Structure 1
């Protein structure tokens, strides 16, 4: 079927044809019509994907990511400026990868027709290490959108789909499938902290290495599918001249080349990673190469680098030699200027006769570092003491109560997804709690939780976030959940400080610690102002009450919030305000080790007593939180005064 549609609509129908389950985005010219078309489709058709206008681009990306991590296909849309808002999460998710196809549609604006900076998303793709495809026409936008999901799932990477204003708003008769091809995949989530968190340098470096391998896989897939084309009419084996164009300039260059015979044209719609083999094929035919691309010399830099590595001695014309501008939209006059400069020059290559161009393999991570061993061949590293909560940390009490509430409700703990966030809260991923499974960026726990729900996870989904992180980036995604009625349990762990970075104050810190002319902001009042009625405040050291509240919250529906409020133990200790410590009666301790298993507190240790082993408490570390007391079945632990 053919329809007259614009490029943005072509993206929408390409996504529908690819079987997306979820689409999110934030309005921004020149991208808005893509999600508008998807939203309108979802309102008129059943079945249809879930579509939402999110509160901002970061939240939109996180919701889409959560759905993709369940195995569903998801697309998120934004303009180039929105990429800045979402970049914190995109850069992190690039390391973790994806399961279901995840496409980030970004519309750039050469010429600043929408009145913003001429930002080039291709540079961001290089920074993030994500494949980037760029459509040349609305028909191409439809096809590349479909292919983007395939590429994403084969490489397990999010894929950036880039259009510019002249394509996103261009009209064309586009042939395609204008129906919704639902895939009906079962939602599931693999609990792998080494893939979905950033808790430790070894995890981050390992993810980076995997990302580089996935990029090489993407290059091979693109080459096999012949996304890029080397076109030539009546060309001999060595014409001397070649033109490279990318994305939106391809049809314009094709038109102008009608007047320039025997000039090969390399049309690139897969920009990154660069398809090196087809570039090498072009270089073999050429002594002079013209590179046409709008905005930054991204393709030019990559081709110059490859040519230098190969020892190619020809001439490259483009932006870096000052011939073509790095600003504005390329009109016909700019393209003609480049073509005329290409054929006008008669400089010859300086090379030996029959000098070959050697097709060298791309340099990988092991060659750069000198490490020839595969990561899988390296001996395992045994970490006996993973980082955990400080002795007396209230977050320990929160996770203890959560684990107990799950058990109380007779729920399968392995099926309850708990999203973590930046800061002390992520330490819940470690034993004995083993509860947090994701860590992306500040505030992402709330957006990801919504993605898991919208992706089809049926068991309760729990998001955990600290007070400082909530102030930083947690409020927008919570508003998003309220607006779209996406039900999950949010636990805000309010210890009054920004602790992991050095105990800095945040808006919720008591005024006496903030300095002059400040005012404390109450998180509970903020939550209520967002329209959340199901709000509870607990003291995590009161385990009986905390377990009861969390048990009910897990069973409830809608957006519900529990604030676990207790000041950081370290800041209390530094002020000398610890009033008591816990002690063990050696006669009553039967060494069941339940206190060790349930709390994981480093103030507890094993010691000899007479002819047997017992648990003792290091009173220098203990802050008297009493959590261990709630774990002891023999009442062997009690509070005592500080000596």
Structure 2
């Protein structure tokens, strides 16, 4: 059966074709779609879950693999940082069941965060990494990754980048393999499963190195890396990995118009970038006068080309990042291959041939990045700003440390409230640091509910233990919203159909020993402002839980039930001062010729514009 699917879904189908027992991960664009698609399927013999964070997911997956069953663990590139302490340890110990870690990197930062190259982690860990060049290959290579993992008795990475992870293709969907019903293995072997002493650790390290070498042999036997030597010796050799392989033929088709000799072009397309296929690279180096290396972000393959070239006495030109042709920033396209061909072969291909390679930002209409209409975070940031004014403080003197997720949008107009971000849960530690550094004005931290569960709780415990003078505002919209409305431990049970236990932040925080704790509705601006102002004047750790369901999810539920309230503009009271839109930034507010208007398709009846207007020009009414 053929189906139009994304690369993320291809990873899921490839895992099902391998008969996985468990799939787990943490949401993070561009990898979210793999677990998300599995959760929509009826899989009675496979456990699928969103875990609390990537390390929890990886540890869970290690247990499955150590018990002899197949498991898929997914994360975005940033999640590898979170899980890496466990990744390197499990890599040392190895595993018995097939263990595949799917990671999605984001060259060009389409989804934000750092341009991190996860191949570096695989290199540090001596772990194989497979890089499909197409969505079809994402299915077959994921399935094969489980076989490879079991053959070498160690975990295997599968890496996609954003164009493949979120791209679409019509491909043949394989039948799911039966899930093994074998009993779980219980192997008591401290020499393998602990790090108790130098001898044990070094022995495991040697075993790990042998596993990677064995993986290289199996990958070569499988023929994953494809070397196509030209008909004539002495031309240009092109080395590329993953999705970059797809751009070569497109570029060569353009270069045909400028006299390129196809018989003197050789291509090594890598589907397994780690370990480096040294035998095939050596063949390419011996056959070609020049080498062009195409890889996004870090020059890992290129460094190996240089090392092999030096060993073989190669005197030809190597074109890539190290010689300055390409930089280490951004994603590749056909344009980069043409630039490389131009440099290597002096084809004089004009820029007009690849000028169409514009970025999404260049094509998009200019607009601010802000929260959705009706978002409860709007109310929270408005209340913070009001509290600062109420205490007669200068906004530039009150630092608000931000965190990952929808909450970070408080950095943008019209709020301009959040100053910084680092990583999941870092806002609380940052706030402590500023407090300990001697900041005399109130120090605030804002964090979302999913991020609080992911990485915020240890920092809060640290702040409580050391009695840090900070205000923590947990902005609880009950969902992991920015990545596509995944549930988290705090999502109430009546919000979804899964049999999960609800973990209530309102019970966790007081149980940790927080003496000053409030719960507010961000849409009740007077109360929210008063509470935040009070907290900013008290000593020690103060925690405010700002709770209201995500506007998108509330609207979905409300659209089924029908609107109960509407916001109406009282035209005779409106003088089009635009205070409502300048304070709230709500996209449902549209200035008319004489008065403000409200787009009914966008309005979520949150009442923020009503609370701002001082002329009673906005009123909330019951639907008649």
TM-score range, shorter chain: 0.5 to 0.7
Q: Aligned-pair distance for 1:301? A: 0.8
Which of 143, 165, 171 is the equivalent residue of 1:146? Answer: 143
Deviation string 1:243-277 (CA, Å, 9 cap, x unpaired) is: 11110111111222243412011101100111111
Aligned to 2:54: 57
Whether 2:105 is the aligned partner of 1:108: answer yes
Whether 2:124 is the aligned partner of 1:127: answer yes
**For the structure 1 residues 528 and 268, does the alpha-carbon distance in structure 2 shift closer, same or farther, using more than 3 Å as the test?**
closer
Aligned to 2:159: 162
Deviation string 1:318-359 (CA, Å, 9 cap, x unpaired) is: 0000011211111322210001112229xxxxxxxxxxxxxx
Structure-1 separation of matches of 2:293 and 2:175: 36
CA contact (8 A) 2:251 2:335 kept: no
Structure-1 separation of matches of 2:101 and 2:462: 35
**For the structure 1 residues 343 and 39, does the alpha-carbon distance in structure 2 shift closer, same or farther, using more than 3 Å as the test?**
same
Q: In structure 1, the residue corresponding to 2:322 is in which secondary structure?
A: coil
**For the structure 1 residues 165 and 193, does the alpha-carbon distance in structure 2 shift closer, same or farther, using more than 3 Å as the test?**
same
Aligned to 1:256: 251
TM-score scaled to structure 1, two decimals?
A: 0.53
Q: Aligned-pair distance for 1:314? A: 1.9
CA contact (8 A) 2:225 2:272 kept: yes
Comparing 18-27 and 128-137, the one that deviates more: 128-137
Which of 327, 332, 337 is the equivalent residue of 1:330? Answer: 332
Q: In structure 2, the residue corresponding to 1:322 is in which secondary structure?
A: coil
Aligned to 1:272: 274
**For the structure 1 residues 510 and 121, does the alpha-carbon distance in structure 2 shift closer, same or farther, using more than 3 Å as the test?**
closer
Which of 261, 285, 288 is the equivalent residue of 1:286? Answer: 288
Q: Aligned-pair distance for 1:69? A: 0.4
Aligned to 1:213: 210
**For the structure 1 residues 510 and 166, does the alpha-carbon distance in structure 2 shift closer, same or farther, using more than 3 Å as the test?**
closer
**For the structure 1 residues 38 and 322, does the alpha-carbon distance in structure 2 shift closer, same or farther, using more than 3 Å as the test?**
same
Q: Aligned-pair distance for 1:10? A: 0.4
The within-5 A match list for 1:227-242 is 227-232=224-229, 235-236=230-231, 238-242=233-237
Aligned to 2:389: none
CA contact (8 A) 2:30 2:106 kept: yes
Aligned to 1:174: 171
**For the structure 1 residues 330 and 507, does the alpha-carbon distance in structure 2 shift closer, same or farther, using more than 3 Å as the test?**
closer
Provide runs of 4+ in structure 1 moved above 6 Å: 506-511, 514-518, 527-532
Deviation string 1:417-438 (CA, Å, 9 cap, x unpaired) is: xxxxxxxxxxxxxxxxxxxxxx
Whether 2:199 is the aligned partner of 1:202: answer yes
Structure-1 separation of matches of 2:143 and 2:65: 16
The within-5 A match list for 1:321-470 is 321-344=323-346
Deviation string 1:514-539 (CA, Å, 9 cap, x unpaired) is: 89999xxxxxxxx998989xxxxxxx
Aligned to 1:634: none
The within-5 A match list for 1:471-482 is none
Structure-2 separation of matches of 1:203 and 1:35: 35
Q: In structure 1, the residue corresponding to 2:40 is in which secondary structure?
A: helix
**Relative contact order higher in (CA < 8 Å, ≥ 6 apart):** 1
Structure-2 separation of matches of 1:130 and 1:114: 26
CA contact (8 A) 2:244 2:333 kept: no
Q: In structure 2, the residue corresponding to 1:174 is in which secondary structure?
A: strand
Q: Aligned-pair distance for 1:45? A: 3.9
CA contact (8 A) 1:238 1:284 kept: no
Aligned to 1:24: 24
CA contact (8 A) 1:120 1:295 kept: yes
Q: How many residues align?
A: 363
Deviation string 1:53-86 (CA, Å, 9 cap, x unpaired) is: 0000000011011001000000100000011111
Structure-2 separation of matches of 1:336 and 1:517: 57
Aligned to 1:521: none
**For the structure 1 residues 516 and 280, does the alpha-carbon distance in structure 2 shift closer, same or farther, using more than 3 Å as the test?**
closer
**For the structure 1 residues 200 and 139, does the alpha-carbon distance in structure 2 shift closer, same or farther, using more than 3 Å as the test?**
same
Q: In structure 1, the residue corresponding to 2:315 is in which secondary structure?
A: coil
Whether 2:174 is the aligned partner of 1:190: answer no
**For the structure 1 residues 290 and 515, does the alpha-carbon distance in structure 2 shift closer, same or farther, using more than 3 Å as the test?**
closer
Structure-2 separation of matches of 1:85 and 1:531: 26
CA contact (8 A) 1:138 1:171 kept: yes
Aligned to 1:596: none
**For the structure 1 residues 338 and 79, does the alpha-carbon distance in structure 2 shift closer, same or farther, using more than 3 Å as the test?**
same
Aligned to 2:4: 4
Structure-1 separation of matches of 2:53 and 2:99: 18
| Structure 1: 5+ residue stretches without partners | 346-475, 481-505, 519-526, 533-643
**For the structure 1 residues 55 and 312, does the alpha-carbon distance in structure 2 shift closer, same or farther, using more than 3 Å as the test?**
same
Q: Which has the larger radius of gyration?
A: 1
| Structure 2: 5+ residue stretches without partners | 348-449, 455-459, 471-502, 509-624
Q: Aligned-pair distance for 1:509? A: 14
